Amino acid sequence: MPESVLITGASTGIGRAMAFEFSRRGYALGLCARRLEMLETLRDELSSENPVAIARIDVAELERVPDVLDKLADELGEVKIVIANAGVGERSYPGEGTFHLDRKVIEINLLGAMATIDAGAEILKKQGGGQIVGISSVAGFRGLSSTPAYSASKAALSTYMEGIRNHLTQHKIAVTVINPGFIDTPINTHRKSRPFLISAEKGARLMADMIEKQVWSSTVPIWPWAIITRAMHLIPERFWCKISI
């Protein structure tokens, strides 16, 4: 049996692109997302001879996450990698009656990812090891004025994963944090500016390379974002709040 990868938020965007990339590399796939019909279409489009299992899940329904991941793991056999990818972005600002959007972002991007990581770690511990991957963002390096809740959710996810690394390493579980820049996916097509944009296919290829190498943390692509994210921290806050997008 081929080794398996579980991916949340697999119906579109980065998750969908990673499904094709890992399929091309010979992995069996466990794919879950909110829109089952899109997963069914994706399953039909994948040309791999390896198994593809799908399941509907909204990771904000935190109590359901373990059952869904366990079901996919049982279908596929040995799981090597669990990727917490599901995420949303919303434009919301304090005092404008849109707190429900902030709550949605935190529930999906942070709590849903943590629920995925928790359930995935339990599966991998039973198997004797593996890898947990969290899809964060360069938006988590500093607060973006256009999407403050999104920035907060990604910063918190990166910090959480840094905090769990030592514990999971003791169980032979590698922890990888991926920080994409602008990948050409529906989550950012509304933006007027998408600097250093790359295709979803190229992004997935770079991410899969990093995941297979079990890097601890990286921007995608590495350049120029590795330099830009370092420079972001050097900008005084009084200036950052005026120029952040």
For the stretch 160-183, pLDDT in tens is 999 999 999 999 999 999 999 999
Neighbouring residues of 6: CB distance < 8 A, sequence distance ≥ 6: 30, 31, 32, 69, 72, 73, 79, 81, 82, 83, 120
Q: In Å, what is the CA distance from 124 to each residue of 5, 30, 73, 114?
A: 11, 14, 10, 15
**pLDDT tens-digit profile of 17-56?**
999 999 999 999 999 999 999 999 999 999 768 899 999 9
Considering only CA atoms, which of 76, 96, 86, 100 is closest in space to residue 27? 76
Per the CB < 8 A criterion, the answer to whether 56 and 36 are in contact is yes
| Cα torsion angle, 92, 83, 131, 200, sign | negative
Can you give the pLDDT at residue 211? 98
**Partners of residue 180 on adjacent β-strands:** 220
* C-alpha span between 36 and 28 (Å, rounded): 18
- Letter for the amino acid at 37? E
Active site residue 150: yes
As a 3-state breakdown, the chain gives helix, strand, coil percent values, each rounded to 5, of 50, 15, 35
pLDDT at 245: 66
Task: At 169, list the tokens.
Answer: 């390493």
Contact residues for 152 (Cβ-Cβ < 8 A; gap 6+): 106, 143
- Token pair, residue 48, equals 């791999």
Whole-model pTM: value is: 0.95
Residues of the chain with pLDDT under 70: 1, 48, 245
User: Look-up: residue for tokens 């949303």?
Assistant: 88
Question: One of 27, 93, 150, 160 is an active-site residue; which one?
Answer: 150
CA separation, residue 225 to residues 178, 180, 228, 232 (Å): 12, 9, 5, 10
Q: Tokens 């692509």 — which residue?
A: 221
- Which domains are delineated in the chain? 4-243 (3.40.50.720)
